[in-house]
Amino acid sequence: MLRILLLATATFIALPAHAEEKPPSPVTSDTPADAPDPDAQDHDQPNQEIVVTGTRARATADVLGGTAILAAEELTREMRPTIGETLAKQPGVSATSFGPNASRPVLRGFTGDRARLLIDGIGSIDVSNTSADHAAIINPLTADRIEVLRGPSALLFSPSSIGGVVNVIDSRIPRRMPESPFHADGIATYGSASDERSASGAVDVPVAGKLVVHADGSYTKTGDMRGGGYVLTPALRAQAAASADPAIQELADLEGEVPNTAARTWDIAGGAAIVDDRGSLGFSVSRYDSLYGVPIRYSLDPAVDAEAVRLHAKQTRLDVRGDILTETAGIHQIRMRLAAADYQHSEIEDTGEVGTTFYSQGFEGRLELVQETHGEWEGVTGGQFSTRNTRIVGEEKFLPRTESNQFGLFTLQSLDFGALKAEAALRYEHNSLRAQADQDIGNPLYDRSFDSLSASLGASYALADHLRLGINVSRSERAPTQEELFANGPHAGTQAFEIGNPDFTTERAWGVEGTLKGSGDGWSLSAAAYYNWFSDYIYDAPTGAIEDDLPVFQYNQADARYYGFEVEGSARLAQLGNFAINSDALADYVHADIVDQGPVPRIPPLRVMGGLEAQSDALTGRVEIEHSFEQDRVTDFETPTSGFTLVNASVSWKPFGAGSHTSLMLSANNIFDVEARRHTSVLKDYAPLAGRDLRATLRVQL
């Protein structure tokens, strides 16, 4: 597979080098006049009013669908070891919170295949979507910015991302020539809740005129995370205290550190690109290695031993990216993106023996043809393909050996009449999944294929200067995943017996979303409300049965309804000398039901958040309060989750002035050390969120 990718790279390099960088987006009433180049490196990144994922750099007000961007100082403040926890404070975003080391984003109540994770437009090529305990191979320490995108633009990347897509943008393949002969970035963090120590560094060096060489590396080490309050919920503690077994009784008093949550992760990469004022072509090679524990699902039955499982994940990955300006009539630019990865992780039992090992090899590529702009009309058309081979070896292989192949064609077309903007997207996708015969877990040979067609149509209208009202209607189809079809066995990582259904049909959904976005001198507003109708919705839920001493989780298919909203805004309250006093607020909510059955499992409750910030060129102070309400809309065999309130504060200082990219940030999170649990977590009853966490982060740029 890697030989194929190298051959494709060599062929692309042999093409005439008359490429051109993407033109800057046109200046409109909703686009800042000084909008920077979307291909800039970290020290010159677009600000948080500009979205770069998709066809071109656009103002957030021009994107149909709720968006969120994490960059610059906010990214530094929110950065955590996992992508899920890093994004957890964004509007419409929660996290799976399978302990501090395996946490994926939950977008509007969706995760897995309905909320795709991308690295510069290409999937993470791991097995994180197959199970909550599998960490996504995405290192936030190497991110320049992270974007959450919804609406028609999401169809460029997946037909099933009804919750949205998360695109992590890094600089491992250089996009431009550094302004100096040597450019370096470094970040170091200490967090007290888990004795977290992390450091990351990156270097870009121009060589031989048009060649830029890049290298980066990072290392993170943590101890067991200290939660706020007790490890078990009050209901489980009461059961443990009532047990006749002294060992079970001791669990009732377990508090503070959450056992088996320590981790060690390192990541290294090298790359190079040919860059001039007409385009770029480059590659990178990276190696990721992480050894981490997952919280223990304690058994209150003396006859059943709870397992303390650790996972050792490794990935070697090759990435290629290029763009060329063509002279062909009607086509302005060709963009290419390729990636291949070899992944494996071992699930290590508390005896030190390897119980089960996952192997996965994947190859993914996409080609985009960017149309020339004709008056008000612009667009992009392209194709995408991927192939995955997954094999599980060991006593707890809950999936047979599978091969999946996907091919998709997509187009996104936009019209801009000034006050009125319209956008339409269409995507066709063919998926084939093949499961080899494996009598050990009861699966015969299956060979399934699915064809899906998804479309989205939307428009926005300027109600006034810098204020736009939008609406988007979508029809999406999603093929079942391999675990939804073929799972049938015990899984130590999730400590569940998982059962799929090979006869599942394609999942279909209609959706409508309304948005209101605006910004001006000292204020900003972004609001979205949505409703989704699902036919043959696929979900997993506990059945109440026990198999191999594990609770059984069964995948089912039924109709479902989702609706909700997210809103965020900010306002300048006063100007006190050099300090601007700003306030901001956020609220989000999801309501989800299986028709004629009841609530969808693990849906986040209503959440509100407010912040007050004093900001100057060199010094910024912030205090914020987040309240998550009780979630008592639960399905059978699911427990309710109590509400909680977190208070956080931070101070950021640029010691060398506003023009410097060196900063020191001190923050205190969950200041009052409250016990908090996310309803989206499968292990919420056994593992709270982090307690009081004092953090120091130093960021240096040369």
How many angstroms separate the CA atoms of 671 and 85, rounded? 17
Give the CA-trace dihedral at 173, 175, 177, 179, to 10 degrees.
Answer: -110
What is the residue whose two structure tokens read 């000292």?
522
How many angstroms separate the CA atoms of 368 and 382, rounded? 4
CB within 8 Å of 33: residues ≥ 6 apart: 27
Q: Give me the pLDDT at residue 543, please.
A: 87
Q: Give me the pLDDT at residue 56, please.
A: 67
How many angstroms separate the CA atoms of 76 and 422, rounded? 35
Q: Give me the pLDDT at residue 442, please.
A: 56
Q: Give me the pLDDT at residue 65, please.
A: 76
Q: Is 262 helix (H, G, I), strand (E, B) or coil?
A: coil
Tokens for 700, please give them: 């240096």
How many angstroms separate the CA atoms of 356 and 217, rounded? 29
Distances (CA, A) of 643 to 249, 632, 676: 26, 10, 8
Q: Give me the pLDDT at residue 152, please.
A: 84
How many angstroms separate the CA atoms of 319 and 285, rounded? 6
Q: Distance of alpha carbon 383 from its chain centroid, rounded? A: 23
DSSP 327: -
How many angstroms separate the CA atoms of 249 and 240, rounded? 5
Q: Give 99-134 as a 3 state SS string.
A: CCCCCCEEECCECHHHEEEEECCEECCCCHHHCCCC
Q: Give me the pLDDT at residue 492, please.
A: 65
Residue 558 neighbours by CB distance under 10 Å:
15
Q: How many CA atoms lie within 13 A of 287 on its CB side?
A: 3
How many angstroms separate the CA atoms of 399 and 464, rounded? 55
Q: Is 466 helix (H, G, I), strand (E, B) or coil?
A: coil
How many angstroms separate the CA atoms of 8 and 2, rounded? 10
Rounded to 5 degrees, what are φ and ψ at 137?
Answer: -85, 70
Alpha helix (H) ranges present in 79-233? 83-87
CB within 8 Å of 183: residues ≥ 6 apart: 41, 43, 203, 204, 205, 701, 702
Tokens for 140, please give them: 């936030």
Which residues are bridge partners to 393 per DSSP?
A: 357
Give the β-pairing of 446-464 and 420-435.
antiparallel
Which residues are bridge partners to 538 per DSSP?
A: 557
Nearest to 44 by CA among 186, 202, 200, 178: 178
How many angstroms separate the CA atoms of 605 and 618, rounded? 37
Do the Cβ atoms of 472 and 425 come closer than 8 Å? no
Do the Cβ atoms of 700 and 678 come closer than 8 Å? no
Tokens for 450, please give them: 């699915």
How many angstroms separate the CA atoms of 154 and 303, rounded? 49
Residues of the chain with pLDDT under 50: 1-43
Distances (CA, A) of 416 to 90, 411, 463: 29, 17, 15
CB within 8 Å of 683: residues ≥ 6 apart: 97, 98, 99, 132, 294, 295, 297
How many angstroms separate the CA atoms of 40 and 27, rounded? 18
What is the residue whose two structure tokens read 């290695």?
289
Q: Give 641-695 as a 3 state SS string.
A: ECCEEEEEEEEEECCCCCCCCCEEEEEEECCCCCCCCCCCCCCCCCCCCECCEEE
